[in-house]
């Protein structure tokens, strides 16, 4: 059985670059996602993941670093668990804003990331407004946390 799992990870890795979330900081994960610009006919921009980012790993400082990105519409790859039976097509994508908001919600709602087996999250103005309001109530500002 382990051989089949290893073979599927190897096949998956040919189409996706794989990130091991258990060993990545929030900053390292987001930086890896930022460089994954979609290219026509190449699903390698999608990020395969193993594991989850636990809610307690994301810090207030991580949220402060993610806040400037919540309105970004820059395209990046989808996030897909290696054991997921669905593979997004070459034309599907996430945005940096969508992923930043998902990571902030991990902190805010105390839920592990990602919540689903795959995600092609897009920037959403209403959701960004809601997160900015929450951030202001937490910090009294829309920028970096009070020191």
Interval 36-61 mean pLDDT: 72
**Structural domain of 115:** 2-139
pTM of this prediction? 0.77
Say how far apart CA 119 and CA 46 lie, in whole Å: 10
Q: Assess if residue 74 is contained within a domain.
A: yes
Min mean pLDDT across 2-6, 37-41, 48-52, 97-101 is at: 2-6
Q: Assess if residue 147 is contained within a domain.
A: no
Determine what percent of the chain is predicted with pLDDT higher than 90: 33
Q: Assess if residue 88 is contained within a domain.
A: yes
- Strands, sheet with 47-50, edge to edge from the N-terminal-most edge strand: 17-20, 47-50, 79-81, 118-119
Which of 5-9, 54-58, 127-131 tops mean pLDDT?
127-131
Q: Assess if residue 114 is contained within a domain.
A: yes
What is the Cβ-side half-sphere exposure of residue 2, based on CA atoms within 13 angstroms?
0
Domains: count for the chain? 1
Q: Assess if residue 146 is contained within a domain.
A: no
Say how far apart CA 102 and CA 94 lie, in whole Å: 11
């Amino acid at each position: 059985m382990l051989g089949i799992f290893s073979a599927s990870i190897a096949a998956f890795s040919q189409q996706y670059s794989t990130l091991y979330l258990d060993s990545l900081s929030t900053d390292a994960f987001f930086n890896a996602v930022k460089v994954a610009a979609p290219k026509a006919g190449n699903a390698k921009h999608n990020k395969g993941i193993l594991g989850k980012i636990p809610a307690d790993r994301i810090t207030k400082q991580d949220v402060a670093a993610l806040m400037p990105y919540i309105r970004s519409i820059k395209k990046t790859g989808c996030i897909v668990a290696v054991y997921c039976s669905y593979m997004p097509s070459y034309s599907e994508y996430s945005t940096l804003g969508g992923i930043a908001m998902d990571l902030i919600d991990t902190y805010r709602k105390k839920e592990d990331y990602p919540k689903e087996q795959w995600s092609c999250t897009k920037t959403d103005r209403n959701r960004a407004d809601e997160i900015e309001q929450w951030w202001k109530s937490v910090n009294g500002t829309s920028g970096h946390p009070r020191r």
